[in-house]
Amino acid sequence: MQICKEAAAHFSVQLVTVASFNHVIDSECHLMVSDEPQATDIRVANLTERGDLVVTQDWGLAALVLAKGAVVLTPKGRVFQNKEITFLLEKRETMSKIRRSGKRVRGPKKRRRVDDKRFEKNLYKWLRKLVKEEESGK
């Protein structure tokens, strides 16, 4: 969260955080939603506009906001692309079927310092690009 706060201040952009009331987030512009399934994703998708940058590791939410023209960055610094999102959604469905059959699947690897560095690098890169595009009227 600190990396996002510093980047937002550096580029003079608004940082909006969205989470259920079960999560305590220290943010100037924090929106709380119910703890219903998908409530956070729906709120983020509804708020997202072309040219926004959304940080999420949720592939379904990534697909929704990519379709709206947003840039999607994972907390580990990976940038999602439109061309790969269909594959990721199919992979998610396959993994869900495997779990429903009673088999265990591995979760994501633990976040490391190198992930934080990649996240910060890509966050600044994309914010720089998006701010420049907004200033030039694209």
pLDDT in tens, 69-112: 999 999 999 999 888 877 676 776 777 887 788 888 777 788 89
pLDDT in tens, 40-81: 999 999 999 999 999 999 889 999 999 999 999 999 999 998
Number of independent structural domains in the chain:
1
What residues make up the domain containing 112? Answer: 2-136
E-strand spans in 1-50? 16-20, 29-33
| 131 pLDDT more than 80 | yes
DSSP, residue by residue, 104-133: ----PPPP-HHHHHHHHHHHHHHHHHHHHH
Give the mean model confidence (pLDDT) for residues 30-38. Answer: 91
